[in-house]
């Protein structure tokens, strides 16, 4: 094959080979090249020892020198991870080998996770070294552990989740013995740090072309209940068929995830995943004023927002992301009232920094249930209407103005400022008139 390899990894390969060493592209970048996908990272495997790698390149970082891994920083800033061929001693902690021995390409392939990730490629000649049947599994679109699946997963428990991610993102199946080992060993995923689980999970929901199917695979593997029990709890939670003819809350969530746009924002994907987690704890089979009975979920949005915060904080998600996702979850039911909102409230809704993802979640929510898009179309039109002017202009009346009028700072400030701002949004742009409408300070 004539592989399109960027200058940085191609240069690393050339320097290693010009100095008498074997050097190949290896791992995910080879898999992606063979599948016609654009690699995210470029990894090189070589027989050169770590000290030799450091000597050959002017700028390196010893990211894992004890394990034979040196990061080479190219002139353009690109980082290429270069690893010496190695064989690993038994893993004592479910992540790190007890010791390593530098060896040859075949032994290096045998210690890797899945067959499709253990191919070696010389992009200059197109030569591929395959010691584990990775080419056949690529052709069969299969994720298969190398050797004994239980041994591979014992070496690094995160591989349990990675097997699901690779299958979901690539559209592959998981080989039966490998999948059976995932199901048996699923509880071991709890031994992995929250940060590593988070990274895999976030990639799963944003990169899988059918994120709902990915969620189902995660459940079938026994991993969902281990890492997201709050989402597992959606299974079997009934909904009123007049609003949700598609089925229970889990089915609804899967449909929404499957309908995500290509390459969705992480914020949107997480908001979709978590938007209804408040339904199981708030579910009530209630009698309505007209005497009919149906399932209701009072306050499930704010309850869900609190649960989403706990989930994302448990996963060590960035604070700004947590705040945004929770704001979307908390407010996702208010869209139904948008056509009845007064202009100030509507402008604040549309002017929110999360509005675009909120609107997209609302569309997905409707299309995955009753399919009525009246509110969505209304809000799209209103957004276009407001586009010619600032959606949220700076407030004319500020706290300093209230102090100048004799008000003492306190909790009442917020309501006075909100009322003044509402009048401003309704069209009153004369600051003097706005100040005249402020109630006098208490005596």
Nearest by Cα to 231 from 243, 218, 244: 218
Q: Find out whether 137 and 115 touch, Cβ atoms under 8 Å.
A: yes
Strand-strand pairing, 120-122 and 23-26: antiparallel
Predicted TM-score (pTM) of the model is 0.84
- Can you give the pLDDT of all 443 residues of the chain as single tens digits? 556 789 999 999 999 999 999 999 999 999 999 999 999 889 999 999 999 999 999 999 998 888 899 999 998 899 999 999 998 766 666 666 666 788 999 999 999 999 999 999 998 888 999 999 999 999 999 999 999 999 999 999 999 999 999 999 999 999 999 999 999 999 999 999 999 999 999 999 999 999 999 999 999 999 999 999 999 999 999 888 777 888 899 999 999 999 999 999 999 999 999 999 999 999 888 887 888 878 888 899 999 999 999 999 999 999 999 999 999 999 999 998 999 998 888 888 888 889 999 999 999 999 998 888 999 999 999 988 877 666 677 889 998 888 888 888 877 888 888 888 888 877 788 898 888 898 888 76
Q: Which two tokens stand for residue 207?
A: 């990169």
* Cβ neighbours of 76 (radius 10 Å): 9
pLDDT digits (tens, 9 = 90+) for 249-278: 999 999 999 999 999 999 999 999 999 999
Tokens 């929770």 -> residue: 326
Q: Which two tokens stand for residue 71?
A: 């990061």
Q: Which two tokens stand for residue 115?
A: 């067959």
Q: Find out whether 71 and 53 touch, Cβ atoms under 8 Å.
A: no
What pLDDT score was predicted for residue 291? 80
What pLDDT score was predicted for residue 49? 95
Positive or negative, the CA dihedral 121, 140, 263, 201 is negative
What pLDDT score was predicted for residue 425? 78
Tokens 């428990």 -> residue: 157
What pLDDT score was predicted for residue 222? 98
Domain 1-137, CATH among 2.102.10.10, 3.30.460.10, 3.40.50.300, 3.20.20.150:
3.30.460.10
What pLDDT score was predicted for residue 273? 98
Please give the Cα distance from 344 to 426 (Å, whole number): 6
pLDDT digits (tens, 9 = 90+) for 29-60: 999 999 999 998 899 999 999 999 999 999 99
Torsion over CA of 245, 250, 252 and 258, rounded to 10 degrees?
-140
Domain boundaries, the chain: 1-137, 141-227, 261-389, 399-436
Element (H, E) at 122: strand 120-122
Tokens 């010619």 -> residue: 388
Please give the Cα distance from 356 to 213 (Å, whole number): 25
What pLDDT score was predicted for residue 294? 83
CATH topology of domain 141-227: Hydrophobic Seed Protein (1.10.110)
What pLDDT score was predicted for residue 91? 65
Q: Which two tokens stand for residue 41?
A: 């990272």
Burial class (CB in 10 A: 0-12, 13-18, 19+), 308: buried
* Cβ neighbours of 288 (radius 10 Å): 9
What pLDDT score was predicted for residue 391? 61
DSSP assignment of 225-237: HHH-HHHHTTTT-
Tokens 């479910």 -> residue: 94
């Amino acid at each position: 094959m004539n592989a399109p390899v960027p200058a940085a990894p191609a240069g690393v390969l050339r320097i290693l080979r010009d100095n008498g060493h074997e050097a190949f592209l290896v791992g995910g970048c080879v898999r992606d090249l063979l599948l016609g996908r654009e690699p995210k990272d470029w990894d090189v495997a070589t027989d050169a020892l770590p000290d030799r790698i450091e000597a050959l390149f002017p700028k390196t970082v010893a990211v894992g020198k004890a394990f034979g891994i040196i990061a080479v920083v190219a002139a353009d800033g690109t980082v290429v991870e270069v690893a010496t061929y190695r064989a690993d001693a038994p893993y004592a902690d479910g992540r790190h080998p007890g010791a390593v021995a530098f060896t040859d390409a075949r032994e290096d392939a045998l210690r890797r996770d899945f067959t499709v990730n253990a191919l070696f490629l010389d992009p200059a000649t197109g030569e591929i070294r395959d010691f584990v049947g990775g080419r056949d599994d690529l052709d069969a679109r299969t994720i298969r552990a190398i050797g004994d699946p239980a041994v591979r997963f014992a070496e690094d428990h995160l591989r349990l989740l990675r097997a699901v991610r690779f299958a979901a993102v690539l559209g592959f199946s998981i080989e039966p013995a490998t999948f059976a080992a995932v199901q048996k060993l699923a509880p071991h995923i709890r031994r992995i740090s929250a940060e590593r689980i988070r990274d895999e999970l976030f990639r799963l929901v944003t990169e899988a072309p059918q994120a709902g199917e990915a969620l189902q695979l995660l459940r079938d593997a026994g991993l969902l209940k281990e890492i997201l029990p709050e989402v597992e709890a959606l299974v079997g939670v009934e909904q009123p068929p007049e609003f949700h003819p598609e089925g229970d809350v889990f089915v609804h969530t899967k449909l929404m995830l499957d309908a995500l746009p290509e390459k969705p924002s992480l914020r949107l994907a997480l908001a979709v995943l978590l938007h209804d987690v408040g339904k199981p704890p708030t579910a009530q089979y209630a009698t309505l004023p007209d005497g009919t009975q149906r399932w209701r979920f009072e306050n499930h949005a704010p309850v869900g927002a609190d649960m989403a915060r706990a989930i994302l904080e448990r996963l060590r998600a960035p604070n700004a992301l947590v705040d945004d996702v929770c704001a979307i979850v908390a407010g996702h039911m208010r869209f139904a009232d948008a056509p009845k909102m007064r202009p100030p409230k509507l402008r604040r809704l549309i002017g929110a920094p999360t509005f675009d993802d909120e609107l997209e979640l609302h569309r997905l929510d409707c299309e995955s249930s009753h399919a009525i898009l009246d509110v969505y179309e209304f809000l799209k039109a209103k957004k276009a209407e407001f586009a010619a002017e600032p959606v949220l202009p700076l407030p004319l009346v500020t706290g300093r103005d209230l102090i100048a009028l004799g008000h003492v700072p306190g909790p009442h400030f917020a309501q006075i400022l909100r009322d003044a701002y509402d009048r401003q949004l309704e069209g009153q742009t004369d600051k003097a008139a706005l100040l005249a409408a402020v109630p006098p300070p208490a005596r």
